Amino acid sequence: MIVCVAVVGYQNNPLYIQSFTDADDALKLHHIVHCSLDVVDERVNNPKKSGPTLNETFLGLLYPTENYKVYGYLTNTKVKFILVTTDLDVRDADVRNFFKRFHAAYVDAVSNPFHVPGKKITSRTFAERVSTIVKSFGLSSVG
Amino acid sequence: MVDPANTPLGKMLLEEITPVVMVLCTPLVEESCLKNGLSFIQMLSPFCNFTNIDVPVRTASDQPYRLQKFKLRLFYASDIRQPNLEVAKERLKQVITQAGEKDFSEMWSDPPQVNDLLSRPESEILPSWFQFFNEELVRTLSFSDHEAFDHPVACLLVVSSRDEEPINRFVDLFNTNKLPSLLNDGAMDPKILKHYLLVHDNQDGASEKATKLLTEMKSTFGPNDCQLLCINSSQDRQIHHQENPWAPFKSDALPTENLGCFLNFDDFNEIKDLMQELSSKHIIPYMEQKIRVLNQQVSATRKGFRNQIKNLWWRKGKEDASDSPNGPVYTFSSVESQIRILGDYAFMLRDYELALSNYRLISTDYKLDKAWKRYAGVQEMMGLTYFLLDQSRKEAEYCMENAFNTYLKLGSAGQQNATRCGLWWVEMLKIRDQIKEAATVYFRICSEDPLHSAVMLEQASFCYLLSKPPMLHKYGFHLVLSGDHYKKCDQVSQSLKYCDNVPNSRSSNILQCFHLQIKHAIRTYRSAVSVYKGTTWSLIKDHVHFHIGQWYAFLGMYDVAVTHMLELLACSHQSKTTQELFLRDFLQIVQKTGKTFEVLKLQLPAINISSLKVIFEDHRTYASAAAASVKESVWHSLEEDMIPSLSTAKSNWLELQSKLMPKKYKESNICVAGEAIKVDVEFKNPLQISISILSVSLICELSANLEEMNSDGNGSNIELQNDENKTSTSTRDIDSSSILSEVDLSLEGGETTLVQLTVTPRVEGILKIVGVKWKLSSSVVGFHNFESNSLNKNVAKGRRKAKYSPDNYLKFIVIKSLPKLEGIIHSLPEKTYVGDLRHLVLELSNRSKFPVKNLKMKISNPRFLNAGNQRELNVEFPACLGKKTNVVQSGGHSNINKVLQNVFLFPENISVQEETSLSWPLWFRAAVPGNISLYVTIYYEMEDVSSIMKYRTLRMHYNLQVLPSLDVSFELSPCPSRLQEFLLRMDVVNKTSSECFQVHQLSSVGKQWEISLLQPVDSILPSQSLFAGQALSCFFKLKDRRKSSTSEDSIPSPSLLLQSDVRLGPQGNSEALFDVYSSPLADFHNSERLHQGMPLQGNEYKVDFVFISQLLKGNIDSGAPNTPLLISHHACHCSLSSMSSISWLVDGPQTVQHNFSGSLCEVNLRMMITNSSDAVASVRISTFDSPSSSIQSSDASAPQPGLPPENQAGWCDIPVVNDMKVITSDALATRFTKSVSLESVSQFIWSGSSSTKLRLQPRSTAEIPLQISVFAPGIYDLSNYVLNWNLMPSSEEEKQGEASKSSGVCQGYPYYLTVVQST
Amino acid sequence: MGREVSESCIDSLLTEMVSTYCNRFYANKPELAARRIEAIGYQVGHQLSERYTMDRPRFSDHLEAIKFICKDFWSELFKKQIDNLKTNHRGTFVLQDNRFRWLTRMSIDQSPENGASEDTSIMADNKAVQSMHLYFPCGIIRGALSNLGIPCAVSADISNLPACSFVVRIKA
């Protein structure tokens, strides 16, 4: 299952970070996301190690921690999407699909004229959309 | 690539992997050494390290090469065994702890920022003790049996010359039961190179005996294996060695003791030569020799294809036999261990190719035998060899990783080795600039031992910091991780301490021994702070700060703890419980410190500095806060013509001050001693939990000397500020110099409240408002300085002039106390109806010691508020408005004059004495609906001229809501029958929702109007009260009596007494009519007129009406509850609708009898034309019935009486008319029939001139005779004439802008004439 | 998800916005009005670029980003591409649109010879008005590019309507 998703701005400032676990491990997940930023930078700086095609937004598996898998996605506008999951076998397609929908949700959220760019995303609709996407991710990966 | 031998790893290997010499010595030897404060080994060890030994060596394949660097490791036989793990761990822990103490002591400065950390060289960044720790860690697992380079190569037997029969001593020194286990359990060959050393202490006497012994030894043990060493040659005096060579080898040496004090230069050289000879003449050749031998054996048994096959087959054969966990045991005689030894020796002699080949060889065997530990060890050595050969990094790393994993697979047994292997691997990666990989290796080294892994994690974090580009996020993360581990191992040690309470060797302090490593934890966290500082990862940041704070608190360093806890206070993003936790811990820690913290810019609660607003009173005083918040410009415009110097020069009050008071006051604000300065500040609680703040008060500096101002030497201010603080933190302080108000408030979660704080200076001087302070708890005092914030937005708020520097903004000059009036208008309604007329009382009270005089008052809105005169002060209302016979207009007029120049001057004799109050009547009338704000300014002057201010003003501000009550409208129309008489229609609609009004009276203002009801009100409005929404319209007759006096008039006015008021109430009503001519009604009426921009005496053709009604029991507060509210409506300038200034009336008989058989009938009419305007009017009446030029000629000769002489123009037509006269008759008939045929009407024709011009003087009436001829009986409408008129405008009309039209064309009025046939 | 709006609405909205800012809010402070309009454009561009770059690989260099603006971004906005792109290879790009949609509705007096002073004055304030209308697209371009991580300054030049060229200067 997905334990955490995050949106990180181009200055590595967290725009939205949401954990989906009952346990109180928000701090750990924050740390994981925070660390993954280094890997993202690494991937971008020397793209030979990065995803299948050059400069693809989807960065693939960033790094496996002891019991998590962290996937990354970097938009053209240097906004990073991080996905932390506990699933052991994740199909790449699922992750790509997830990120695509996540990105769409993000775009709609920041297109809100009342959203201040670079500030945390507080829109409730965005949160709901993200949670639905996360749920559906679980389902699709099962199927 | 540098020579691998010079890299840190290379150096380390050349240090660590070197031949070991086992030392066996007698106690006497030690004894004689100890004179120098050294053990025997310590004495030798400085000389075991050869940088340039230069020994020729030959490889197994006879390649000669020279060995330059060489080192021997000396160990007592007792030490040659695997060290006990627990001891080792304890030692490591001590190492770490000492390091922690050391670092902690120099950690008082702020942790370095990441950026300048990066700018520094690596050596500075890395804590120095890492290196040491790693070496210690490696040493902890020397002498393991699975690798040979720790096995002693030679054995040094030492006997003192004082020993009795030394020879036997030599023999039984080397007896097997004392030997280390390695040699006994057959892990290594017991027959090793022995070297016999006789130590002679020169203090025991001359060395002849020793030499004798030496010869004896030589005879027994062989000539070249024995040596004599003489020490302590300097008997009497002590030698002091500078850069003492022994110091580094005796870690616990006190600086006082003089190591090697008895070893003189000769001893020095002797020892050196001894070791030199030992290594070069004996050990190295021995090893070289051994390598040859082993190499031959190995190649004999294992090299070559056949041997390989055999070997494989053989191993397969014995494979099933061996299933012990770490493979079979190999004795020294087994070929495997021989190969290993061969490899290690070769390694130690730098013959790396040989070593490598043998390692390769053996590793396969071990692998096949599943002797994993040995396999791993060999892999490890292979990796190192590859590294030192500096070829194929991949191979090297592969081997290291392989070894590492194999060790890990062994579980706890291999853990230590894994660590060592990992450390070497890391070093290798670092040298190859693969720092990130090094970090991951560090991460993998971490074992379950928290302390151990803490150190590893910290090293890993530094790797991330040093990697290019630096990976700061991971740096921070690993710092935090290692911090947690450090903390964890404290908990572990705690539990240990509990289970066996061994008092800690280092410190008896129980708290200390529970928190050995917490300092490391703090250190790591602190450096982590620098990573997260400035980012918005608030969750992490809070966690870090919170723990640092807690741990400092553990250590009892509460001050530092508090500084970190402060970072947490404004954690609006945290959950409610977390916020409570943070706040609680913070307060607890603060309490533990036992002192009160004074925190600048305490974040709890937040201060909205833009809301800062200062209200102070210099010469401008305010009756209420509402008045103070009014814009200065309003007051300014109001007071302009009242304050003397302002009225002359348009200037803001400041120049005024500069006129009135000394120069130095010019720059700054003035306030008066004893009068409070109010400051509004807005507090916001960022948390979700409610907090309570105590004793919020201002911080002020009050310095006595006024020269402080110009030379801002703040010295005195500062100290005064201090005692200000001291006193003001005590509750309800009454300071000698000033009084500060204190407020306690409690803020709910997210609540925002506005607090008004006051400071009241009591002595003259300079008052400076520095900031605000409050108590979060009993012991946390928050400060906020106003100055530090930009004041530009406050400029708008507080009454500032832009020219002030922000410094002056909160700086006041306190001048000695002055009289100050306080004013209030009693019973001014908040909410009332339009037209509400009231009698109010203004009360001015003077609290001070001095009287004030020359009071003036100005009211912003005279339509609403008027000053009465003193005698009206306590009249009863509304009876006072009743008509009195003796009333004179003087009262009204006097008021009018005062209102005219808008400033009400109190009579000169009026002055408010000290501690008295003055009451003054005011008249109030709600003129228009809406929300009205009234501004009243009262100007007064001081009696004592000594004071700096000559005058002050009291400003009052009231807001009231006026609701629409009655809607009264008048319509004036001329009555067709009479001139000078008009029909007045009054429409009254009750606009209120619930009120019920009682109509009372209607008065017309102006003397010349006489007003009378057409029908009694009872018929229209039986109950004289108008209910909500009800409408009333009634008709009056309005008569202009002045006109009737001028022009002689047929109808005499029925009554001569002035009838300008009409009572609308019930007829029997006895209550008096109100007098609209006396104040206040007159005043209000005038102001109404003024408001409509009319001169007070307009032209008389405009009428003003005052309609008065009463509101019996309103649901709004009336001044006096029992009396009804009086509602007066003023309608000004009601003029005749479409009233031209020319009016006329056709007068004549209504019916005429005539016998048409005789002649046509002539009817005489007359038209009266009135010019009511002030201009000369010329009027032309042109009648028409047909193109009837002929008819006029019939009696054109008839002279027009009253015709103006200049109308001679009429005459010139006559001859023409006369010519035509002839044809008139028949033309008449023809046109008559035609007229019949054309129109059935107008059986008459106008006779007389068809167009009459006349000129009317202003306000005059003229009469024109008209005549018509009728030919048949019938009813005729004589309206077919046109009146053209225009006014010759006179000059004064021009500028008056007369509204009425200056020319016009009017159709005639219908006038019906009935002609009947008379018989 | 991409909702569509009638062109005419956008056109009139634009003109209304410009006139409101120039004549009501910041009358007699044209540069202020210009800045405000440009800021609005900036936000619009910022958000649009977020949307239009959704499913495409990241740009490796500035030129790619500019090309994206010229091709996809422009055709998303105006249903046509930029007609001509020039650059000195030192960070200045000139994007020319031969028929800029937002200027096509704009009246131009096509009298080439007008010696009369009031004609020239009319021309002048025509130009002023047109340039006012161009601050919005300039802001859009700047917002899009800066969101793509390219800080730049954008200016527009209307030499001959309805052709219009935008000059992008990338801040080094």
**pLDDT attached to residue B1094:** 56
Mean pLDDT across chain B: 72
Cβ separation C60–A78 shorter than 8 A = no
pLDDT grade for B718, boundaries at 50, 70 and 90 = very low
Average pLDDT, stretch C108-114? Answer: 53
Position B445 scores a pLDDT of: 80
Tell me the pLDDT tens digit for each residue of B298-341: 777 776 666 777 776 666 655 554 445 555 667 777 777 788 88
Residue with tokens 């928290």: B450
pLDDT band at B1144 (very low <50, low <70, confident <90, very high): confident
Q: How many other C-beta atoms are found inside a 10 Å radius of the C-beta of residue B723?
A: 12
Higher pLDDT, C110 or B435: B435
Q: Point out the residue among A26, A34, A120 whose CB comes nearest to the CB of B473.
A: A34
DSSP label at B223? G
Q: Of the candidates A5, A3, A15, which has an alpha carbon nearest to the alpha carbon of residue A83? A: A5
Q: What is the pLDDT of residue B327?
A: 56
Q: Write down which chains contact chain A via at least 3 CB pairs under 8 A.
A: B, C
**Other beta carbons less than 10 A from residue B313's beta carbon:** 9
pTM for this predicted structure: 0.67
Mean predicted confidence (pLDDT) in B354-373: 80
**From A107, which residue of chain C is nearest by alpha-carbon distance?**
C51
Q: Do chains B and C touch (3 or more CB pairs under 8 A)?
A: no
Is A77 part of the contact surface with chain B (CB cutoff 8 Å)? no
Q: Which of B937, B947, B954, B953 has its CA nearest to residue B660?
A: B947
SS3 content of chain C, % helix, strand, coil (to 5): 55, 15, 30
CB B140 within 8 A of CB B92: yes
Q: Could you tell me which residues come within 8 angstroms of residue B279 by beta carbon, excluding any fewer than 6 positions away? A: B48, B50, B53, B55, B70, B72
What pLDDT sits at residue A87?
A: 78
Greater model confidence, B981 or B685 = B685
d(CA B1218, CA B1223): 10
Cβ burial of C152 (10 Å; 0-12, 13-18, 19+) is: buried
Please, do chains B and A touch (3+ CB pairs < 8 Å)?
yes
Query: Lowest-confidence range among B295-304, B731-740, B833-842?
Result: B731-740
B1075-1083 mean pLDDT: 74
**Is residue B1137 helix, strand or coil?**
coil
Between B593 and B1068, whose confidence is greater? B593
**From the list C43, C50, C57, which residue is nearest A77 (CB)?**
C50
- Contacting residues of A for C55, CB less than 8 Å apart: 57, 100
Query: Domain locations in chain C?
Result: 7-170
Q: A13 and B535: CB-CB below 8 Å?
A: yes
- What is the chain B residue with the closest CA to A38? B471
DSSP B155-176: EEEEEETTSSSHHHHHHHHT-G
Cβ–Cβ contact A119 with B under 8 A: no
What 3-state class would DSSP assign to A67?
Answer: coil
A chain contacts of residue C1, beta-carbon cutoff 8 Å: 104, 108
Domain B10-83+151-289: which CATH class?
alpha beta
Query: Residues near B320 by Cβ (< 8 Å), separated by ≥ 6?
Result: none
Using the beta-carbon criterion (under 8 Å), do A75 and C53 form an inter-chain contact?
yes
Task: Test A75 with C149 for CB contact under 8 angstroms.
Answer: no
Contact A42 B471 (CB under 8 A): yes
Q: How many CB pairs under 8 A join A and C?
A: 49
Residue A76 at interface with chain C, using a CB cutoff of 8 Å: yes
d(CA B1007, CA B1173): 19
Q: What pLDDT does B47 receive? A: 82
pLDDT for B713: 36
Least confident range from A110-124, B189-203, B294-308, B634-648: namely: B634-648
Q: What is the CA radius of gyration of chain C?
A: 17
Grade residue B1224 by pLDDT with cuts at 50, 70 and 90: very low
Stronger pLDDT, B1313 or B788, i.e. the higher one? B1313
Q: Cβ neighbours of residue B220 under 8 Å, at least 6 residues apart?
A: B167
A68-77, B676-685, B862-871, B1042-1051: least confidently modelled range: B1042-1051
**With contacts defined as CB-CB under 8 Å, which chain A residues touch B477?**
31, 34-35
Residue reference for tokens 């001894």: B274
Angle at B522 between CA B518 and CA B525, to 5 degrees: 135
- Take residue A89 and report the two structure tokens written for it: 């076998």
CB contact under 8 A, A34 and B464: no
Residue B964: is the preceding peptide bond cis (ω within 30°)? Answer: no
**Read out DSSP for B791-845?**
-HHHHHHTT--TTS-HHHHTEEEEE-----EEEEEET--SEEETTEEEEEEEEEE
Q: Do C51 and A117 touch (CB under 8 A)?
A: no
Q: Which residue from C47, C54, C57 is facing A103, i.e. has the nearest CB?
A: C54
Nearest CA in chain C to A108: C51
Residue B654 predicted with pLDDT over 50: no
Across the range B416-428, mean pLDDT stands at 82
Residue B596 to residue B606: CA distance in whole angstroms: 20
CATH code assigned to A2-136 = 3.30.450.70
Tell me, what's the pLDDT at B1227? Answer: 37
Of A13, A27, A45, the CB nearest to B540: A27
User: Cβ of A44 under 8 Å from any chain B Cβ?
Assistant: no
Which of B922, B917, B905 is CA-nearest to residue B958?
A: B922
Of A14, A36, A38, the CB nearest to B537: A14
* Long-range interactions of B973-979: CB distance < 8 A, separation 24+: B973/B1136, B973/B1137, B974/B1136, B974/B1139, B974/B1143, B975/B1037, B976/B1309, B978/B1051, B979/B1043, B979/B1047, B979/B1143, B979/B1145, B979/B1168, B979/B1170
What are the boundaries of each domain within chain A? 2-136
B87 - beta bridge partners? none
Assign residue B1305 a region (left: φ > 0; alpha: ψ between -120 and 50; beta: otherwise): beta
Domain B821-870+910-962: CATH superfamily is Immunoglobulins (2.60.40.10)
- Looking at the partner chain, which of A76, A78, A110 has a beta carbon nearest the beta carbon of C56? A76
Chain C contact residues (CB < 8 Å to A): 1, 43, 46-47, 49-51, 53-60, 147-149
Closest CA to B764 of B844, B689, B708: B708
pLDDT tens digits for range B444-460: 887 777 777 888 888 88
Rounded to the nearest angstrom, the gap between the alpha carbon of residue B359 and the centroid of all alpha carbons in its chain is 70
Judge whether residue B348 has pLDDT over 50. yes
Chain centroid, CA B406 distance in Å: 59
Tokens at B92, concatenated: 């490591």
* Contact call for B471 and A41, based on CB within 8 A: yes
Contacts with A45 from chain B: Cβ below 8 Å: 469
In which residue are the tokens 């106690």 written? B27
Q: What are phi and psi of B1013, to 5 degrees?
A: -70, 140
Which amino acid is it at C52? Y
- Whether A77 and C53 lie within 8 Å, measured CB to CB: yes
What confidence tens digit (pLDDT) does each residue in C150-163 have? Answer: 888 888 887 777 78
Q: What are phi and psi of A132, to 5 degrees?
A: -65, -45
Topology of the domain covering C7-170: Muramoyl-pentapeptide Carboxypeptidase; domain 2 (3.30.1380)
Are A107 and C50 within 8 A, CB to CB?
yes
Q: What is the ipTM of this complex?
A: 0.83
Q: How confident is residue B714, by pLDDT bands cut at 50, 70 and 90?
A: very low
Nearest CA in chain A to B474: A35
Does residue B31 register a pLDDT over 50?
yes
Interatomic CA distance for residues B1319 and B1013, integer angstroms: 46
Residue count of chain A: 143
Q: Does A45 touch chain B (CB under 8 A)?
A: yes
The confidence score (pLDDT) of residue B133 equals 78
Encode pLDDT of B1145-1159 as tens digits.
Answer: 777 787 888 887 777
Task: Give the angle subtended at the CA of B10 by the CAs of B7 and B12, to the nearest 5°.
Answer: 110
Distance, CA of B457 to chain centre: 39
Distance between CA B380 and CA B359 in Å, rounded?
10
Burial bucket for residue B1199 (CB in 10 Å: 0-12, 13-18, 19+): exposed
Q: For C89-106, what is the mean pLDDT? A: 82
- How high is the pLDDT of residue B735? 52
- Rounded to a whole number of angstroms, the distance from the CA of A8 to the nearest CA of chain C is 14
Token pair in block for residue B1064: 């609308």
pLDDT band of residue B891 (cuts 50, 70, 90) is: very low
Looking from the CA of C86 toward its CB, the CA atoms found within 13 Å total 7
Task: Return the higher-pLDDT residue of B1236 and B265.
Answer: B265
Cα B997 → chain centroid: 55
User: Please, which residues have CB within 8 angstroms of residue B837's CB and are 6 or more apart in sequence?
Assistant: B878, B923, B924, B925, B1080, B1081, B1084, B1125, B1126, B1127, B1128
Predicted pLDDT of residue B801: 39
Q: What is the pLDDT of residues B233-244, one digit of tens each?
A: 776 666 666 667
CATH match of B1142-1317 with 2.40.110.20: no
**A69 and A61 Cβ atoms separated by less than 8 Å:** yes
Give percent of chain B above pLDDT 90: 0
Give the list of residues 6+ apart from residue B342 with CB closer than 8 angstroms, or none. Answer: B291, B294, B295, B298, B354, B355, B358
- The lowest-confidence range among B345-354, B548-557, B560-569, B640-649 is B640-649
Q: Which CATH number fits domain B963-1134: 1.10.1040.10, 3.40.50.300, 3.40.50.11890, 2.60.40.1230?
A: 2.60.40.1230
- Asked, as a colleague might, if the bond just before B878 is cis with ω within 30 of 0, I would say yes
Of residues B1053, B1083, B823, the one with CA closest to residue B957? B823
Q: Collect all residues with Cβ–Cβ distance below 8 Å to B961 and sequence separation of at least 6.
A: B830, B831, B832, B930, B931, B932
- The CA distance from A2 to the nearest CA of chain C, in Å, is 23
Name chain C's partners: 3 or more CB pairs within 8 A. A
Q: Which of A11, A41, A76 would you mutate first to test chain C, the one with the most C CBs within 10 A?
A: A76
